[in-house]
A and B are shown apart, each in its own frame.
Chain A
Amino acid sequence: MDVFLTSRIASDVLGGLTNGVIYGLVALSLVLVWRSTGILNFAQGAMPMLATYVGMVTFGHYFGYWICVVIAVLVGFLIGAGTERVLVRPLYGKPEINPVVVMVGFLTVLEAVAAAIWSSTPRSLTTPFSPIDFHLSGKPFALSAFSLYQIITAVVVMVAVAVLFRFTNLGLQLRASALAPEVSRLLGVRVNRMLTLGWTLSTGVGTITAILVASNFFTGLTPQVMDGIFAFGFIAAAVGGLDSPVGSIVAGIVMGIILQFVGDYVNSNAIILVALAILIVSLMARPNGVFSPVKTRRV
């Protein structure tokens, strides 16, 4: 068993799983916004980045790690809600290109603002978890206290979102508002509030993701910290299906593992090429995503 756990294959699977849950979380946050408002949020990485700077850097001077995490997530909620109310609401019902342009512009502005305030120099966030791999029989295997923290946090967030959507009245209203806004209004659901809440939750999930990424000793926090991760999360959401929270998470995890093998056995430069190939092939085979239900229509 020890020999297997320290083998190259097990290391790749564990390393890929750690990356994959992060891609899955980014994909989930994209799906939350897409399902509720039909908008692809290109600033889905930058908004949480800003919340992470405010919570972990500005308040990091005064408080410990966990209090800063709570503050960052609360700031993320505020940024999500504020963005929906001020920037996104006027875009509902407008041509599809409008929100794309606005959110790409917002991404650029947020990264510039963060660089102006905190500079582009990477900042390492002190975490309570060691990034040094565990050892088995004197050999390292690709799992550390920090990567366990990443995996467990991601799973807890995913389960919490699933429980919220599946088993609570609030989740029922969120889903109904996304699927049938007019019918929901006729049943007394405050749809506008639900749309704001969708963006709030999405940015909250995104902020937890950004903290997990930036807390990595080897990455640190920069204004562009989420750019690469966003690209992989975006591909995972498109492959899994923008309508499918479970699909996007599964696609994120599977992609993380595949890309880890590619990086190890082929070349790290091939990772993005393989990711794009996965996107193209899956979109050709299943344009709505692998896990989205096939839509039929009466003719």
Chain B
Amino acid sequence: MIRVQDLTVAYGAVKALVDVTFEARTSAITAVLGANGAGKTTLLRTISGLKSPVAGSITHDGAELTLMKTEDIARMGIAHVPEGRGVIGEFTVEENLRLGALTAKVDAKQSLASQYERFPILGERRRQHADQLSGGERQILSMARALIANPAVLLLDEPSLGLAPLITAQIMATIKELCASENLTVILVEQNASSALRIADHAVVLNVGHVVANDVASVVAEDEKLRQYYLGMVR
């Protein structure tokens, strides 16, 4: 479980997050929603140690993450799939996966085989450079690379960005399935609120760095004011 408490993050004088508090539970998907500039990506970057907060705390199973380095947070089992997917284009599919498996406690060959079994397209393209993959395939590769080390927490930043609706639906279904089968704590940052709310258990809505809603996903999905003013969803 990830617990975020009174988190404030700033870029110089500009506050990107102000007193943000919420919990992301194990075996559940917590969607973080909001418009551009709401602070969603900053939140994930702060959880994974890429950005230091001004105040507040982030804990994972009791450990304070704000005092730790990014690489140590990753080694604790917190996997962050960054916006734009973050695959290394100059590496082959297999090299990208091997890089993800470095911190895994299990045998690398076995981990690779299990990811190829889960995502057969990656097995077929294992010798191809990642920059030759389609957008959807890159998203699958970045998720597989995050999952290969058997993480406890999965932070996903805009996995639907730039993908066709059908591919987005497949990716969302995969996230839902993985969360249940691997007992993952998933924090899903999305601008595509309707897709995210369809699979999320819980939702946090941000507006210019402030939490404006923190509730069960179905309740957020039905709230007309939230839908209209913060999520850009029109019935």
Query: Which residues of A are in contact with B by a Cβ distance under 8 Å?
Result: 169, 172-173, 175-176, 179-180, 182-191
Contact = CB atoms under 8 A, between A and B. Distances in A.
Contacts of A191: 71
29 contacts: A169-B98, A172-B99, A172-B102, A173-B99, A175-B91, A179-B88, A179-B90, A179-B91, A182-B50, A183-B82, A183-B86, A183-B87, A183-B88, A184-B99, A185-B50, A185-B74, A186-B70, A186-B74, A186-B79, A186-B80, A187-B99, A187-B100, A188-B74, A188-B102, A188-B103, A189-B71, A189-B99, A189-B102, A191-B71
A113 to B, nearest CB: 35
Contacts of B74: 185-188
B75 interface: yes
Interface residues on B, range: 20 to 34
Contacts of B50: 182, 185-186
B80 A188 contact: no
Nearest to A180: B88
B140 to A, nearest CB: 16
A187 B145 contact: yes
A64 to B, nearest CB: 40
Interface in B32-75: 48, 50, 69-71, 74-75
Contacts of A169: 98, 102
Contacts, number: 57
Q: Which of A173, A186, A189, A190 has the most CB of B within 10 A?
A: A186
A164 to B, nearest CB: 15
Nearest to B90: A179
Q: Which of B70, B98, B145, B149 has the most CB of A within 10 A?
A: B70
Contacts of B48: 186
B71 A172 contact: no
Contacts of A185: 50, 69-71, 74
Interface string B68-110: 0111001100011010001110110001001110110000000
Nearest to B103: A188
Contacts of A182: 50, 82, 86
Contact of B103 (A176, A183, A187): A187
Given A172-B95, A176-B99, A183-B82, 17 more contacts: A169-B98, A172-B102, A175-B91, A179-B91, A182-B82, A183-B88, A185-B69, A185-B74, A186-B50, A186-B70, A186-B82, A186-B86, A187-B74, A187-B99, A188-B71, A188-B74, A188-B103
Nearest to B81: A186
Contacts of A183: 82, 86-88
Contacts of A175: 90-91
B75 A188 contact: yes
Interface in B171-221: none
Nearest to A184: B99
Contacts of B102: 169, 172-173, 187-189
A172 B91 CA distance: 9
A173 B102 CA distance: 9
B71 A176 contact: no
A159 B118 CA distance: 36
Contacts of A176: 88, 91, 99
A184 B74 CA distance: 10
Contacts of B75: 188
Nearest to B149: A188
A76 to B, nearest CB: 27
Nearest to B72: A188
A199 B88 CA distance: 23
A45 B149 CA distance: 42
B152 to A, nearest CB: 14
Q: Which 10 pairs show the lowest CB-CB distances between chains A and B? A: A188-B103, A188-B74, A185-B70, A183-B86, A188-B75, A186-B80, A180-B88, A188-B71, A185-B71, A190-B71
B199 to A, nearest CB: 23
A187 B37 CA distance: 26
Contacts of B103: 187-188
A188 B76 CA distance: 9
A183 B86 CA distance: 6
A166 to B, nearest CB: 10
Contacts of B71: 185, 188-191
A169 B91 CA distance: 13
A187 B50 CA distance: 12
B128 to A, nearest CB: 15
